[in-house]
Structure 1
Amino acid sequence: MTLSFDITDDQTRSSLGARVAMPAKESLIGLTRLELGEALVRAGVVPERQVKMRVQQLWHWLYVRGVADFAHMFNISKDLRSALDQHFTIARPEIVEEQISSDGTRKWLFRFPPRGAGRPVEIETVYIPEEGRGTLCISSQVGCTLTCSFCHTGTQKLVRNLTAEEILTQLMTARDRLGDFPDRDTPDGAIVPAEGRKISNIVMMGMGEPLYNFEEVKKALLIASDGDGLSLSKRRITLSTSGVVPEIFRTGEEIGVMLAISLHATNDDLRDLLVPINKKYPLKDLVAACRTYPGLSNARRITFEYVMLKDVNDSLDDAKALVKLLKGIPAKINLIPFNPWPGTNYQCSDWETIEKFADYINNAGYASPIRTPRGRDILAACGQLKSESERLKKHERLALEAMMIAGHGEA
């Protein structure tokens, strides 16, 4: 059974922490410590001699306690809280809709206020609960420039990059909804231990190409992995790219998170069709960049994502070519059953074909898990995300259900 909640009235929005940030106020979320201190001094809120202390206090309240209202910062004077509220915001995005899949997967549609002369924008974020961990799939752009032919998100044109604030507040709002922050209404609320978190992992695999928004993604992920704040291990953060080769080394050197490559083909002719960025950065350049990824080892393997498309890339010869292509790279190969969406011309490979493909790769010495499709009934699975501005019409949803019933949904 799929549950869907349209968040419309002000009272409900307030109870969900879904207040919209006023564009006239600068958000403190997503600023580095240096930027945060500079903002406080620039606004005349804090004298320079107090900056270090105030930055430390605010950092704790924002990223450890997860407060979304200056009034809840109990160890800060009332006058300072009032001044902060006058000049800045720490609000969450508006939650337009929350959907809960029959398998427990959650998808949120977030709306962010206008930037400059722009309009409000909407993006989707997905939470996948699993035994022993919970993974949040975060978006980096509104829409996408890459037009990968098998991906639903790729059919929506790029609107703009997300800011570090907008990337981080996806994580922070998800924690709000899941009860993953400590009790913020009492000064001595217990801190949630790392092993007790519902969100233990994050993946930059939502809408957009993260490496086309490198600087903002970098800022957000360094704050997410800061040990005095959100405190996620860099080994539990994975950034997925379709192959923006010049930024791959920088990702390892400057961010230090795990890397995933959206591969899907073993030759340039096919990959040019499936992942058009391959025309700019062909396979030989992409694989070379992977071989020199900083920190690469058996303990820090690169994940190669490979969507299984019937009669396109799923033959035994394709499996052999994949093993040959990646020879010598510490790697895990995630096989992803194709997730259908209305209007696509692709079909998912038969389950028997996927298993034979996986067996060959496993026998060649590579871990090759078959990713269990999650959240298909709410279009939350890999390759299915699309913002509300591109919302499916009712007959398209019915068409998707018919496709799944016909047998593609369980492949």
Structure 2
Amino acid sequence: MKIFNTFEKATILIVDDNPTNLKVLSDAISSLGWEALIAIDGENAIEEAEYAQPDIILLDVMMPGIDGFQTCAELKKKSSTKDIPVIFLTALTDQFDKVLGLVTGGVDYITKPFNLDEVLARIQVHLKLSLLTKELEIKNQELDRLVEERTQKLSLTLDKLQQSQLQLVQSEKLSTLGELVAGVAHEINNPLNFVMGNLGFLRNYINALTQHLELYHQYYPNPVINITKNAKLIELDEILIDIPKVISSIDTGLERIHNISDSLRNFSRSDVSKKAFFDIHEGINSTLIILSYRLKGNKLRPDIEVIKDYGNLPLIECYPEQINQVFMNMIANAIDAIDELCQKVADVQNNKNYQILIKTVWKQEEELLIVTFKDNGLGMSVETQKQIFEQFFTTKPRGKGTGLGLSISRQIIEEKHNGRLRCFSVLGEGTEFLMEIPVR
């Protein structure tokens, strides 16, 4: 953009079909050190203005061909000439003509016969105005650029701050959760091992006592009346039949506690600092065992069915504890979505089968692991899907969610494992989360 002041050379285009006016004006302009360009009609004026880009145009109204008003209108239509100030020169004195000149884009109006000093003075005024306008435009552009730079810097700083905050929350959450789960598993194992060890002794003792009672019955088939009465009173025959069943039930319960304890220890593996080879299916199964109490039916819905469509996967090199945290978020969110749908359904006895489909696929040629979690719960709107991975965004009531689970999950998959986490959902039909983890 050309910047000038009144002491530098400016270019003035004079448009007039009168040779005398052209001579007088051009001589006066040249005497001030400015360059004078000449055009005798509107068509030539438009061409000259586009080529030379004058600083001001002195434009006669009454000319052969297109008049000054039309010429000005054409100049204002073109991007290359629309900002050039136009001063009308005319013998017309009608107020309507003056208004028409200003409406078509003129900045000033000088009536013929003109006073030369007045013309030069007005040219200087509009040169100064043009200068100030262009300087203001440059300042505005510089200001816009500075604002944009500051905004970008602030945005970058905010992104870094959010990432640091998210990493801090994630690290603290993983550390706290890992310590808590590992501590619970350890506390469970101590009494569990004690009970399981003593249950073996108890089983042997009961078997020995049962055999001893059978020997008594064999060699003393007719006991005294008090023993017979007491045997009927305590239902001895039923006790002897039920004792093995009770022992078997205790075995089953202890085995279940043992599986939960193993799942807790697997879930809380402390491999945060380095990658390790990990069985993805073991991680999913451990998470399902931990969340099994939430999968059970309640007053609003029946049991949630978990469908496992597992592919043949190799051990995957990853951060196991972080991957387990993603699995926990995915399955817990699926359960929440189903529960939210059940709360909105008027007829809770709709006999709908609520399901969570977990599918794993190994693409050997691409060395790519794909894991999907799909539920038939509440689903999400398009607007919600656009924000679902944003930090602190949640659709859950206050106190039910922090809005960090999915943002942390995306960071784990995409930043820690160079993968991708995507969401596909239809409101009222369900949601599917798909994660892709490249091994290399």
TM-score per shorter chain, which class?
under 0.3
Q: Please tell me whether Structure 1 or Structure 2 has the larger radius of gyration of its CA atoms.
A: 2
TM-score, with length taken from structure 1 = 0.22
Determine which structure has the larger helix proportion and give its number.
2
